[in-house]
């Protein structure tokens, strides 16, 4: 298991997107991503060889300090964090910071490793997520650039319903309620218009905005 991870940055800020928007959080951005979205605003994180390796022990201390300074949960993001095996990392966090909730932000292209209190799945049209991540995620967040992304959003939700229908009743009862978000790609007027209209006409979906960018914070 991985004892060291390539880290782009760590920072204490507010969660800017999705269900937990506006809450105090400590972020660990891991390097490495092969998904390669053209609209990605963290392309600097794609090459894991550019960043230093940090030990799990060192990261655990940073998490503890952030918790003492008001962070309500940890967000593991990227890049694509599940390119790395996070089993040992999550175990260490729970051993040393038992009260810290662990949130994961992933595109879902890899198998799940590690244990989480909240999973944000942001699947991509060109690189679909695994069925396990569709089943286990707590929120789905689709980035909207064009009409095809709205079709993709509906496809993903239908796929989740199909998976749920195939599950046994006792398995289904263990799943958390899904929360569905559409989020316009930053600085894309067409994406904004499409996402807002979609949210207005599809009450089972909510609009997510990158509020941290409006606030000019990380």
Q: Which domains does the chain have, with CATH numbers?
A: 4-214 (3.20.20.70)
For residues 21 and 59, give the distance between their C-alpha atoms in angstroms, rounded to a whole number: 23
The DSSP code for 25 is E
CA 58 vs CA 44, 53, 70, 209: distances in Å = 23, 10, 19, 32
Q: Which runs of consecutive H residues, i.e. helices, occur in 2-112? A: 56-68, 87-96
Burial class (CB in 10 A: 0-12, 13-18, 19+), 45: buried
What does the pLDDT read at residue 109?
Answer: 97
For residues 98 and 82, give the distance between their C-alpha atoms in angstroms, rounded to a whole number: 22
- DSSP structure string for 89-136: HHHHHHHH-TT-EEEEEE---S---S--SEEEE--BTTBPPPHHHHHH
What does the pLDDT read at residue 165?
Answer: 84
Contact 88, 59 (CB under 8 A): no
What does the pLDDT read at residue 169?
Answer: 64
What does the pLDDT read at residue 170?
Answer: 63
What parts of the chain have a pLDDT lower than 70? 1, 169-175
What does the pLDDT read at residue 99?
Answer: 86
**Residue written as tokens 């230093």?**
52
What does the pLDDT read at residue 123?
Answer: 97
The model's pLDDT over 90-105, given as tens digits with 9 standing for 90+, comes to 999 999 888 899 999 9
């Amino acid at each position: 298991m991985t004892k060291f991870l390539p880290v782009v940055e760590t920072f204490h800020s507010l969660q800017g997107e999705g269900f937990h928007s506006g809450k105090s959080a400590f972020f660990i951005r891991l390097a490495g991503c092969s998904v390669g979205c053209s609209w990605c605003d963290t392309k600097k994180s794609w090459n894991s060889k550019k960043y230093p390796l940090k030990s799990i022990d060192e990261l655990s201390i940073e998490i503890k300090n952030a918790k003492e300074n008001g962070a309500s949960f940890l967000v593991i993001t990227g890049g694509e964090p599940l390119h790395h095996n996070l089993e040992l990392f999550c175990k260490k966090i729970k051993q040393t910071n038992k009260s810290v909730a662990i949130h994961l932000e992933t595109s879902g292209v890899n198998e799940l490793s590690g244990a989480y209190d909240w999973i944000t799945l942001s699947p991509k049209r060109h690189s679909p997520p695994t069925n396990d991540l569709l089943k286990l995620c707590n929120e789905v967040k689709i980035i909207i650039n064009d009409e095809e992304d709205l079709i993709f959003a509906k496809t993903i939700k239908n796929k989740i319903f199909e998976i749920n229908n195939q599950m046994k009743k006792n398995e289904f009862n263990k799943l958390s309620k899904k929360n569905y978000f559409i989020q316009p790609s930053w600085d894309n007027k067409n994406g904004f218009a499409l996402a807002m209209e979609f949210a207005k006409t599809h009450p089972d979906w909510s609009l997510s905005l990158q509020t941290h960018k409006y606030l000019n914070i990380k």
